[in-house]
Amino acid sequence: MKKILRPYLNFLAGLLIIVSACTAPKSDQTTEEETAKVIDELAVARIDSTLKSFIDAGQVAGISALVYEKGNEVYHNALGYSDREAETVMSRNTIVLIYSMTKPITGTALMTLYQDGAFQLDDPISKYLPEFADMEVYTGVDSSGNILVEPIDRPITVRDLTRHTSGFVNRADIPGLGQKFGELDIYNREGSLTQMAEKLSSIPLWFQPGTQWEYGTSVDMQALLVERISGKPFQQYLRENVLDPLGMTETRYFVPEEDRDRLAANYRLENDTLNRIPDEQALSFNTKKWPLKLGGWGLTSTLDDYMKFARMLENEGQLDNATILKPETMKLMATDHLTDSVTIRSWLPGKGSVGFGIDFAVRLSPPANPEENNGAVGEFFWDGAASTLFWVDPKNELTAVLFVQLFPYDKIGLHKKFRDAVYGPYPFPN
């Protein structure tokens, strides 16, 4: 009898195991997924090899990177020289010029005022910056080279400033208008943000607000908004409400004499030769206390300082005991604000399948091919003129900061190769 029943009992036992597995809570599977890591030993080796390849090829003097995943440091390395001529090695506390990676910090300062109800994104900026109350829009030049204009369709809004659709001209090669812009000297270091606004408002907008994405001085006007709304100098408000709460003591405009041995030199790659940019040219903005404190560029930082900022963004506006932004504010910043009607987007599409949120690009879809920048849907990021880069990947709870001081901006595929080293071969799961 036992021999007859044994197969049947074994069958029932196996069936019970299958049923139990199918009906068990999914928490075990979720836990396994949550503990899956992007940065494993293979990734560490890939990143090391990638960074070293740029040093070995003589394409950069020094390079460093820092990656956090799920709240923990998972990668750091620094290679080469921060000052090749002095043979000062690139290190964790090397101070670099972050250029446009200043912009997301400025946007964060502005959004601390937004979440307090001080303004709305669709407010006209003239409510706070009356300099821009009566703007006209450029349409071209006549046969004599005189600028032609048309009435503005709608006022410039705060949202236009945060997503680069304000219409401000940003270069000198636009017939007629470009010459006037070049004559303004809007970045005069002895000036102020108010003087910059007065100069910008004295010439027509390049295009109707909200119709194009074009990089420019919009974030400098965000800094002026911070001044006007808060009643404090931009630098003071930034320090009190963003930098100091996060412990970002190394992120500043002016680098004092005692710290300049840690300040990295800037280099230019020309015809496969790496040439140092004279310090009096590259470092002059940060080695004297100029009156002008810009929102769009000008800060210096270290790997760890900037990582504090990135981790705060990844953690929905909080880091350790500091709360800078509310989760709903952070979500708003990391949401694409460009409508489909904004079809002219300058060089932004070159950064991948992205839109633009509040002072950084936002990835909307996975890489379409191996040539496109790697990354996960929902990540947000920005970079700087000297080829620096940071990104926040909420899906994988990952933040990355890459520091280098190289001009022209990333002509060697540095960002693409670094991203590939972090995420692995295409296609990375999104």
Mark whether 91 and 180 lie in a shared domain: no
Residue 142 lies in a domain: yes
Distances (CA, A) of 430 to 45, 423, 427: 22, 11, 8
Whether 122 has a pLDDT exceeding 90, the answer reads yes
For residue 331, the enclosing domain spans: 37-101+232-423
Residue 58 lies in a domain: yes
Mark whether 181 and 247 lie in a shared domain: no
Mark whether 90 and 125 lie in a shared domain: no
Mark whether 189 and 256 lie in a shared domain: no
At which of 215, 249, 282 does a domain end?
215
- What is the arithmetic mean of pLDDT over 74-81? 98
What pLDDT band is residue 18 in, cutting at 50, 70 and 90? Answer: very low
Mark whether 94 and 121 lie in a shared domain: no
Q: How confident is the model over 135-149, as pLDDT tens digits?
A: 999 999 999 999 999
Mark whether 64 and 90 lie in a shared domain: yes
Residue 430: what pLDDT?
Answer: 64
Mark whether 277 and 384 lie in a shared domain: yes
Whether 10 has a pLDDT exceeding 80, the answer reads no
Mark whether 50 and 152 lie in a shared domain: no
DSSP annotation of 241: I
**Distant-in-sequence, close-in-space partners of 263: CB < 8 Å, separation ≥ 6:** 82, 94, 95, 96, 255, 283, 286, 287, 300
Token pair for residue 209?
A: 């607000």
Residue 106 lies in a domain: no
Residue 430 lies in a domain: no
pTM: 0.91
Mark whether 96 and 121 lie in a shared domain: no
Q: How confident is the model over 29-73, as pLDDT tens digits?
A: 444 444 579 999 999 999 999 999 999 999 999 999 999 999 999
Number of structural domains, the chain?
2
The CATH number of residue 299's host domain is 3.40.710.10
What pLDDT band is residue 429 in, cutting at 50, 70 and 90? Answer: low
For the chain, what percent of residues have pLDDT higher than 90?
A: 89
Mark whether 355 and 240 lie in a shared domain: yes
**Distant-in-sequence, close-in-space partners of 340: CB < 8 Å, separation ≥ 6:** none
Mark whether 237 and 200 lie in a shared domain: no
Mark whether 94 and 199 lie in a shared domain: no
